[in-house]
């Protein structure tokens, strides 16, 4: 079975992982700032409304719903984007690996390598 991989490919894949991790961390950080700013704005509006109307209980229900929605949306979007980014990075890594290994094997050895790795075609 063919298992050797060019060492330069390992270095390239590690750089891609680092870039993806940095992008993910940046998205989480700035998303957090936006959520905190939104919550602060809602709380300021809540305080002003309570001060003007003196009705705490009915206004609090609305504020709790809005804050819950903001926080839930933040974590939902972040989790979805993180999963999507991981899948796209893995797909790109797999495609690059396949292309590099195909180039490394060459056309003369390709049928033998394909048979070893994937098994004989049933057809």
Write out pLDDT tens, residues 104-122: 777 788 788 777 877 777 6
State if pTM tops 0.85.
no
* CA atoms of 66 and 51, how far apart (whole Å): 19
Residue 122's pLDDT is: 66
Residue 60's pLDDT is: 87
pLDDT, tens digit (0-9, with 9 covering 90-100), for 49-81: 989 988 888 888 888 889 889 888 888 888 888
pLDDT, tens digit (0-9, with 9 covering 90-100), for 85-95: 788 888 888 88
Residue 11's pLDDT is: 61
* CA atoms of 113 and 4, how far apart (whole Å): 12
* CA atoms of 99 and 82, how far apart (whole Å): 26
């Amino acid at each position: 079975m063919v298992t050797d991989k060019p060492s330069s490919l390992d270095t390239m894949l590690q750089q891609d992982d680092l870039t993806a991790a940095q992008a993910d961390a940046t998205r989480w950080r700035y998303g957090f700032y936006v959520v905190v700013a939104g919550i602060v704005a809602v709380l300021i509006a809540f305080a002003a409304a309570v001060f003007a109307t003196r009705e705490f209980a009915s206004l609090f229900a609305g504020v709790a719903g809005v804050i819950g929605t903001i926080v839930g949306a933040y974590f939902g979007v972040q989790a979805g984007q993180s999963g999507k980014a991981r899948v796209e990075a893995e797909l790109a890594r797999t495609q690059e690996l396949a292309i590099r290994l195909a180039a490394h094997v060459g056309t003369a050895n390709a049928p033998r390598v394909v048979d070893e790795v994937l098994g004989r075609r049933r057809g």
